[in-house]
């Protein structure tokens, strides 16, 4: 049994206060190896948004996981950029920054926009790691050298195509298969996959495509021994999920509905779910992610690290987070090659045949950036400095 490090013992401070000299955001487009379809969208390329903090002659890198359209949450790459330019970057450029908590408290008074805030917290942690010469996993107290991973498989044109993808990813070692579902692509699809693979860890994710009125239909998933049903109901709902959980044997897991440690606490009190998917971006960065992790660990609620089709930079941060003791379920942290033919980090993230990925142990996010390839694919860069 691991007890979490108290926040005070986590090494979230720079060796000395850092006067940041610049905050930059960068947009680059990476083609996907195959289209990714969920209940709300289908894309064939990902517009990646990176953040960079500069201070003490060092750079720290983060990623903003917002999509181009407000379909997963209300944020977009455009809102994130505007909020950083107008509000968040000025708050960080105003006086030397000391700790992660200092970063979080400067950003907290601005309501919402968690993905934009997370991009800055991630870059801060990379910067601190580089200054302290420690990997982020060490700074946050993660004991796990390798993390268990699964893969999220999108909606496919045919059931046959999906079955082939399932086989292919099981052969690569992935420990858990998650199927994206929506009305019309659910019970029969799960039935087909389960018949072919009677004992694999299998889960489904509806991305809020159902209502409580679909409870009887969702109960048809109970016989398939699913690990969980992720976010079946509204993106901002906790109460209907609690009602639904009472009618289902399968554990519910919340994703979209958990936006901070407060909503996580409310979900646990209401028994809206029995598991939580933690995405650093969705909850506003490391501070909230660590708080949700600690809360769930104390409450005996398993958590796992979600994914947003990140580049290697976001992926490296996910690996650090998932090294914490409460992350007992396989995360949506796939190999770079699951999504991209070429990643912006070297070496790319790889999944071993036992379905694990090594947590980077070099300073900061712990992987080298392929700056040439990043530059080649960059669409836009904007940099902010202190003005007064
Ligand atoms: C989830 N991710 O857990 C998300 C949702 C997500 C890996 O399943 C374009 C279209 C980008 C849909 C990014 C995974 C997306 C997208 C993330 C869905 O709910
Ligand atoms: Mg999800």
Question: What is the distance of C-alpha 354 from the center of its chain?
Answer: 22
Closest CA to 3 of 330, 332, 367, 326: 326
DSSP states of 217-259: HHHTTGGG--S-EE--S-TT-SHHHHHHHHH-SSPEEESTT--
Cα separation, 66 vs 73, in Å, equals: 8
Predicted local confidence at residue 352, as pLDDT: 98
pLDDT at 388: 65
Contact call for residues 377 and 28 (beta carbons, < 8 A): yes
Closest among 157, 184, 154 to 166, alpha carbons compared? 154
Residues with CB under 6 A from ligand 1: 36, 38, 41, 43, 67, 72, 152, 205, 207, 255, 306-309, 332
5 Cα: distance to centroid of ligand 1 (angstroms):
31
Other CB atoms within 10 A of residue 328 CB: 15
Task: Enter the tokens of residue 355.
Answer: 């379905």
Q: What torsion, rounded to 10 degrees, do the Cα atoms 216, 221, 188, 195 define?
A: -150
Position in ligand 1 atom list of the atom nearest CA 180: 8
Residue 277 and residue 250: Cα distance in Å, rounded?
Answer: 16
pLDDT of residue 197: 98
Coil/strand/helix, residue 110: coil
180 is catalytic: yes
Task: State the average pLDDT for the chain.
Answer: 96
pLDDT single digits (tens) 51-109: 999 999 999 999 999 999 999 999 999 999 999 999 999 999 999 999 999 999 999 99
| Residue carrying the six token digits 């980077």 | 360
Q: What is the pLDDT of residue 14?
A: 87
Contact by Cβ (8 Å): 40, 207: yes
pTM, 2 dp: 0.97
pLDDT in tens, 163-176: 999 999 999 999 99
pLDDT-based confidence at residue 2 (cuts at 50, 70, 90): low
Give the residue whose CA is nearest to atom 15 of ligand 1.
Answer: 308
Q: In this predicted structure, what is the pLDDT of residue 9?
A: 72
DSSP 8-state symbol, 6:
P
Q: What length is written for the chain?
A: 388
The reported pLDDT for the residue numbered 5 is 76
Rounded Cα distance, 10 and 26, in Å? 30
User: Which residue, among 26, 23, 24, has the nearest Cα to 94 in the 3D structure?
Assistant: 23
CA of 35 to the centre of ligand 1 (A): 12
Q: What separation in Å is there between the alpha carbon of 243 and the centre of ligand 2?
A: 20
Alpha-carbon radius of gyration of the chain: 20
> And the tokens for 35?
């289209």
| Nearest-angstrom CA–CA distance, 161 and 185 | 13
At 24-43, the pLDDT tens digits run: 999 999 999 999 999 999 99
Exposed/middle/buried for residue 104 (C-beta within 10 Å: 0-12, 13-18, 19+): buried
Q: Output the six-digit token pair for 357.
A: 């990925």
């Amino acid at each position: 049994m691991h007890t979490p490090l108290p926040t005070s013992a986590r090494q979230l401070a720079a060796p000395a206060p850092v006067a940041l000299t610049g905050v930059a955001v960068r947009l680059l487009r990476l083609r996907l190896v195959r289209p990714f379809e969920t209940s709300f969208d289908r894309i064939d390329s990902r517009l990646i948004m990176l953040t960079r903090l500069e201070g003490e002659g060092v750079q720290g890198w983060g990623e903003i996981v917002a999509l181009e359209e407000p379909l997963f949450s209300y944020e977009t790459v455009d809102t994130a950029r505007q909020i950083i330019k107008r509000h968040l970057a000025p708050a960080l450029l105003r006086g030397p920054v000391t700790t992660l908590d200092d970063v979080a408290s400067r950003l907290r008074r601005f309501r919402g926009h968690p993905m934009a805030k997370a991009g800055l917290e991630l870059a801060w942690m990379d910067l601190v790691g580089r200054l302290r010469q420690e990997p982020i996993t060490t700074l946050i107290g993660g004991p796990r050298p390798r993390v268990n991973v699964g893969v999220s498989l999108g909606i496919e044109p045919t059931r046959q195509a999906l079955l082939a993808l399932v086989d292919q990813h099981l052969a690569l070692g992935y420990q858990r298969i998650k199927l994206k579902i929506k009305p019309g692509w659910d019970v029969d699809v799960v039935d087909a996959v389960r018949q072919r693979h009677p004992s694999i860890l299998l889960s489904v994710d509806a991305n809020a495509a159902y209502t409580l009125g679909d409870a009887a239909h969702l109960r048809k998933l109970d016989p398939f021994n699913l690990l969980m049903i992720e976010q079946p109901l509204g993106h901002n709902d906790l109460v209907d999920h609690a009602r639904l959980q009472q009618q289902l044997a399968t554990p519910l897991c919340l994703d979209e509905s958990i936006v901070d440690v407060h909503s996580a606490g409310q979900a646990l009190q209401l028994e809206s779910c029995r598991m939580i998917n933690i995405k650093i971006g969705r909850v506003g960065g490391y501070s909230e992610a660590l708080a949700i992790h600690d809360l769930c660990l104390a409450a005996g609620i398993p958590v796992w690290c979600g994914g947003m089709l990140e580049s290697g930079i976001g992926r490296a941060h996910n690996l650090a987070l998932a090294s914490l003791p409460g992350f007992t379920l396989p995360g949506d942290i796939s190999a770079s090659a699951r999504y991209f033919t070429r990643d912006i980090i070297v070496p790319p993230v790889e999944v071993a045949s036992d379905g694990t990925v090594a947590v980077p142990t070099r300073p900061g996010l712990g992987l080298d950036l392929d700056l040439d390839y990043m530059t080649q694919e960059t669409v836009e860069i904007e940099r902010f400095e202190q003005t007064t």
